[in-house]
Structure 1
Amino acid sequence: MHILDDPCLSPRVATLLARARRGHQMPTDRIRALARAETSDGVEAAVPPEAVESMIRFEERYGGLWYPLLGSNGMEHGLDGEATVCLTIDGWTFPGIHDGDQTWRVDVLPGERTAMTLAGRPRIINSSILQRLENHAQLSQVRDWPHMTFAVATEPGQEPTLAEAGLPALDVEATGPADRWWVGGGTAIQLKLHKWWGEEDIWFARCFMERAENLATTFDVVRHAVTDGVCRNADWCGLCTHFRQPAQACLPNAATQSSCPRTSSPHR
């Protein structure tokens, strides 16, 4: 069943996909006819049947799906006329998603995990495509709430640790290898992997509140909750696409926000 025909989606994913559209889907017989495989160094290999079936299941479920998240470039899903799998350390993968906001390819791994490769460094970013949708749906719900951001640096491949006492409940459905969410009571906290190809990994911690009155207090609680990682100031908001002073709140719905200059992101 295609994702847009599924009546059992969570309410927030259904809301996210209410803005979606469906494009062309690659027919199953076409996938089988074009299926090819190669090793990580580009050498032609025998096509594993399980990889072909994985591409078919993906196309039947997500082929042609497009939805917007942060910008006008949407999240595009589908094989797009290709049916090539590549052998990696994580198994047979294929390019199935184009992340419009990051303008980069997302590969689909066994079990519908996803990975992104930047600067030659692959990283698993979603535990499943459904988790990816739940993550995007949660961000879509709160992106216009007042929010504050700081950065956390860790050793390569390591995740920051937060003491969860005093935080809302962990949102298990939206949480994956590159995003963690704590949500409840008009508060949402996101820990998002931003960079993983240098001498250290950089994560962004975003604190959202439906009402701005207690945002600074929540920001301090989250910052002090970091127990494994080095907290740093962040002067750029990727959601509002503008610079601001460290520890300055972004108030997207406030009239004063219109005076904030918007510019292109200096990051990926």
Structure 2
Amino acid sequence: MHILDDPSVSPRVLALLTRARRDPAMTAVRIRELARAETAVGGATAVPEEAIEAMIRFEERYGGLWYPLLGCNGMEHGLDGEATVYPSTDGWAYRAIMDGDQTWAVDVLLDERTVMTLAGRPRIINSSIAQRLEAHAQLALVRRWPHATLRLTIEPGQEPAVAEEGLPALDFEATGPADTWWRNDETAIHLELHTWWRGTDTWTVRCFAKQAENLAAAVESARHSVTGSGWRDEDWCALCAHFREPAEPCFPGS
């Protein structure tokens, strides 16, 4: 069932998709006709049946889906007339998502984990497309709350160490390899991988509070609970698309 026809998705994903649109998806017959597999050096090889089935499942569930998140460029889903798989360091993958905010392609593994490759360095971003949607939906819910943006530097390939005492409850559905959400009714903290192709990895830490007077406490909780070798206050807010003084919070709509 296509996700836009599925009433069982979470309320926040339903809210995220209220502005979605749906273009025609490729049929299973067409995918089988066009299916091809590339070798690591660009040649052709036999197409694994499980790869064909994965592309068909993706197109039936997400094909043609478009929705906006932060900017006017939306998240585009679909094989877009191609049905090619290629070998990656994590198994067979196919190109099926364009991240409009990042303006970069996202590839999908056969188990629906997603991979983004920047500067020739692939990294698994989402544990599933469903998790990706939940993370986007959570961000859409709180992006207009007062918030502060920080950066954290750690060793490459690692995840920040977290002591969850003092943080809101972990949001399992929205949490994946490149982002973690903690939230309750009043505050939310988002830990998101920013760069991974340099000498160190950097993570963005966003703190949100429904009431402005609670934001400072949320920032202090994040600093205390998330461990890395280098904290810094960020001067660019991707949510508001503007520069501000480091450590200066954003108050959308004020």
Above 0.5 in TM-score?
Answer: yes
Q: Which residue of 1 aligns with 2:223?
A: 223
Q: Which residue of 1 aligns with 2:87?
A: 87
Q: Which residue of 1 aligns with 2:112?
A: 112
SS in 2 for 1:136: helix
Per the TM alignment, residue 225 of structure 1 is displaced from its structure 2 partner at its CA by: 1.7
- Partners of 2:190 and 2:40 in 1: how far apart? 34
SS in 2 for 1:203: strand
Q: Letter of the 2:39 partner, please give it.
A: T
Per the TM alignment, residue 226 of structure 1 is displaced from its structure 2 partner at its CA by: 2.2
- Partners of 1:221 and 1:250 in 2: how far apart? 18
- Partners of 1:253 and 1:202 in 2: how far apart? 29
Q: Which whole-Å deviations, capped at 9, do the CAs of 1:179-227 have from their partners, x for residues lacking one?
A: 1000003100000001010001010100000110121122122112222
Q: Which residue of 2 aligns with 1:199?
A: 199
Q: Which whole-Å deviations, capped at 9, do the CAs of 1:112-157 have from their partners, x for residues lacking one?
A: 1000000000000000000000000000000010000110001110
Are positions 1:63 and 2:69 aligned together? no
Tell me, yes or no, if the aligned pair for 2:152 and 2:228 is still in contact at 8 Å.
no
CA RMSD of aligned residues (A): 0.9
- Partners of 2:246 and 2:214 in 1: how far apart? 17
Tell me, yes or no, if the aligned pair for 2:189 and 2:206 is still in contact at 8 Å.
yes
In percent, how many aligned pairs have the same letter?
A: 66
Tell me, yes or no, if the aligned pair for 2:153 and 2:228 is still in contact at 8 Å.
no
What TM-score comes out, normalization by structure 2 length?
Answer: 0.98
Where do 1:170-249 residues align within 5 Å? 170-249=170-249
Stretches of structure 1 that go unaligned for 5 or more consecutive residues are 255-268
What TM-score comes out, normalization by structure 1 length?
Answer: 0.93
Per the TM alignment, residue 241 of structure 1 is displaced from its structure 2 partner at its CA by: 1.0
Are positions 1:169 and 2:169 aligned together? yes
Where do 1:121-200 residues align within 5 Å? 121-200=121-200
Is 218-227 or 113-122 further displaced after alignment? 218-227
Per the TM alignment, residue 41 of structure 1 is displaced from its structure 2 partner at its CA by: 2.2
Per the TM alignment, residue 243 of structure 1 is displaced from its structure 2 partner at its CA by: 1.0
- Partners of 2:172 and 2:228 in 1: how far apart? 21
SS in 2 for 1:213: helix
Are positions 1:38 and 2:19 aligned together? no
Count of residues in Structure 1 that have an aligned counterpart in Structure 2:
254
SS in 2 for 1:115: strand
- Partners of 2:248 and 2:14 in 1: how far apart? 33
Stretches of structure 2 that go unaligned for 5 or more consecutive residues are none
SS in 2 for 1:140: helix
Q: Which whole-Å deviations, capped at 9, do the CAs of 1:52-102 have from their partners, x for residues lacking one?
A: 111011001100000000000000000000000001121110001000011
Q: Which residue of 2 aligns with 1:260?
A: none
Q: Which residue of 2 aligns with 1:259?
A: none
- Partners of 1:37 and 1:210 in 2: how far apart? 49
- Partners of 1:197 and 1:40 in 2: how far apart? 21
